[in-house]
Amino acid sequence: MCGIVGYQGREGARDILIEALRRLEYRGYDSAGIAIWNNGTVRLARRQGKVSDLAEAIGDDGFNGSMGLAHTRWATHGVPSERNAHPHKAADITVVHNGIIENYLELKETLKEEGHTFTSDTDTEVIPHLIASLLSKAGSFEGAVRAALRMLKGSYAVGVIREGEDILIAAKKESPLLVGIGDKEFIIASDAPAIINRTNRFIFLEDDDIAVIQKGTLRITNLDGDEVERETRSVQWSGAMAEKGGYRHFMLKEIFEQPRAISDTLIGRIQQEEGEILFEELDLPDITKVRKIWMVACGTSYHACLIGKHIFEANLRIPVETDIASEFRYRDPILGKDDLVILVSQSGETADTIAAMKEAKKRRLHTLAICNVLGSTLSRECHSVIYTHAGPEIGVASTKAFTTQVCVFFMLMLYLGKRLGALDNDDVRRLIGELRKVPHKIQTILDASSSIEDNARENMHYRHFLYLGRGINFPTVLEGALKLKEISYIHAEAYAAGEMKHGPIALIDENMPIVFVSPRDQTYKKTCSNMEEVLARKGKVLLFTDDTRHDMAGRVDALFVVPESIYELQPILSIVPLQLMAYYMANLLGTDVDQPRNLAKSVTVE
Ligand code: F6R
């Protein structure tokens, strides 16, 4: 997830752009860059590291002008480095980009044949080359940008300038972009917080919009060149709220970002028509020889592994062993010579997970990381890596990292299933179809978040909660209970529902709410029986299900219905109301939600 910003106006662009980059840094930063247009020429500066490094590098020596573009990068294609940093320039065209161009390899090949030379590993660099190559045929800068955008597959928010033309063009598809309207100036940005210090009037561009800013005027057209009307909106946010995109906490923002985070994780990897999953970055040994797969991680990432095990075993029929990284590293696990070890980590810096990876490597096993931070230790040191494209996760409690990790496990299962002959093209097509519906389904849960907040208000005074689920939703309740305890400090314990009778049932009375996750899957009837047992002991049942006609509806204390999905994907939906419930309880109790006591975002020590 990168941040982009562009300026055209009467004042010097440099300070405005640098200040906006500083405000965008929370979106992720491994490098930053700026391009300034001054009397028809464009100067570029890029640096690996923080925005402050870039600001220092450009100094004061006349690096200024009336128009410019800037970018803060969170790498997805190509390691963090100066040459991969944006803006990217080809001939007289300069571009900043946020998003992922799915067909960049194809475009790059064609452009190379035309004689274009590439200097970075990014998908973005094809955009300025493409625009430059289309200029003479299109007849105008704007025409060339429009023609290029029509050829791009994937997602983009772009800002484009050209030497010699006092025009700033901005366009978007599936990545956010807005135009801020200031006093005789226009500023484009990935989000409002970046520029809230200069204006609170915004036009939120829609997919396929192209905004052309020229000599103090703004014109918005669609990809066919027809003008479109967009409403100007005013937002009233405090500075702190603006950084969090108007949300009270990063955690809430990140919960609400899940539809986008999942879409970004799927982009460029699913080919539904072909029934194929593309993992360009993956370089696995002969998978038919693998006798056992290990999934190893800590905390929330470990819960994603527990779900991964269900997804893999149900479809691939390969034994999967899950392990907590701090156990794996010391217990001398019995590893077969062809076993595959998958290590999962949002940060890629968790000490125990890194130690587990080293242990597996010492035993000469292939290690595969599922990781959210490009260039992190785990992603660098494993043999292969698949990135979740969740964007930076700032709230200490992990939310969007978890759901994107489960999506990666699902895609990896499809990928391996094809190679092992366990799934055919039709199976993969159908399952991709289900996966693609997930972001929209999550959105419908988020749209109903106020009912979860009401429920949280009613129940926040309880000091102990029990979470119960079965099958693939046992890990879901483990994760739900972890969310509640870590941010609200309410004691929450999770069990496989079948285990209730073997001990925890002794705790149940009218002061113990029990959270059940009970979709209509193969475990449904059994979980209903567990609910009966709880109700018989005057326990309070909060039920999360995908079944509007659940057998227990009307008898439980609260019922929340999530959309239906297939067994393997149901946890991604069921966890969202549990994340929200934990968040709302903590917020109502007034805890420090984003930085709960005693916890750190990245546990780099043992
Ligand atoms: C819980 C949480 C932690 C992390 C764990 C592993 O909300 O965030 O349990 O999941 O510390 O961190 P990563 O995934 O960065 O290895």
Asked whether residue 400 falls in the same domain as residue 461, the answer is no
Nearest CA to ligand 1 atom 5: 299
Please say which residue of 436, 451, 486 terminates a domain: 436
Residue 282 clears pLDDT 90, i.e. is over it: no
Report the predicted TM-score, pTM, of the whole model to 2 decimal places. Answer: 0.77
Same domain, 457 and 407: no
Q: Is residue 86 part of a domain?
A: yes
Residue 318 to residue 314: CA distance in whole angstroms: 9
pLDDT band at residue 241 under the 50/70/90 scheme = low
Our mutation pick for probing the ligand 1 site, out of 324, 326, 343, 347, counting the most ligand atoms within 8 A of Cβ, is 347
| Atom from ligand 1 closest to the CA of residue 299 | 9
Same domain for 498 and 423: no
The answer to whether residue 601 sits within a structural domain is no
**603 found inside a domain:** no
User: Which region among 384-393, 434-443, 467-476, 570-579 has the lowest average model confidence (pLDDT)?
Assistant: 384-393
Are 416 and 553 part of one and the same domain?
no
- Confirm or reject: Cβ of 377 under 6 Å from ligand 1: no
For residue 211, what are the β-bridge partners? 170, 220
Domain end position, chosen among 177, 210, 242: 242
User: Is 361 a catalytic site residue?
Assistant: no
Q: Which of the four pLDDT bands, split at 50, 70 and 90, describes residue 274?
A: confident
CA distance 312 to 89: 44
| Same-domain status, 235 and 311 | no
Position with higher pLDDT, 245 vs 356: 356
Q: How many domains does the chain have?
A: 3
For the question of residue 2 being annotated catalytic, the response is yes
DSSP code for 517: E
Which residue range(s) make up the domain with 64? Answer: 3-242
Residue 204: pLDDT over 90: no
Return the pLDDT at 452: 97
Any domain includes 217: yes
Q: Residue 52 forms beta bridges with which residues?
A: none
What's the rounded Cα separation, in Å, for the pair 267 and 154? 7
CATH number, position 338: 3.40.50.10490
Contact indicator for 454, 481 with CB cutoff of 8 Å: no
| Kind of pairing between the strands at 210-214 and 340-345 | unpaired
Q: Given 361, 418, 437, 601, which residue is catalytic?
A: 601
Last residue of a domain, one of 416, 436, 456: 436
Q: Are residues 487 and 565 in the same domain?
A: yes
Question: Does residue 598 lie in a domain region?
Answer: no
Question: Rounded to the nearest whole angstrom, what is the distance from the C-alpha of residue 584 to the centroid of ligand 1?
Answer: 20
Mean pLDDT of 456-469: 96
Same domain as 294, residue 254 = yes
Residue 596, ligand 1, Cβ within 6 A: no
**Is 606 within a domain?**
no
Shared-domain flag, residues 451 and 537 = yes
Inside any domain, residue 597: no
Tell me the C-alpha distance between 160 and 426, whole Å: 41
Q: Whose CA is nearest to atom 10 of ligand 1?
A: 300
pLDDT computed for residue 246 by the predictor = 81
* Cβ neighbour number for residue 48 with a 10 Å cutoff: 20
CB atoms within 10 A of CB 294: 25
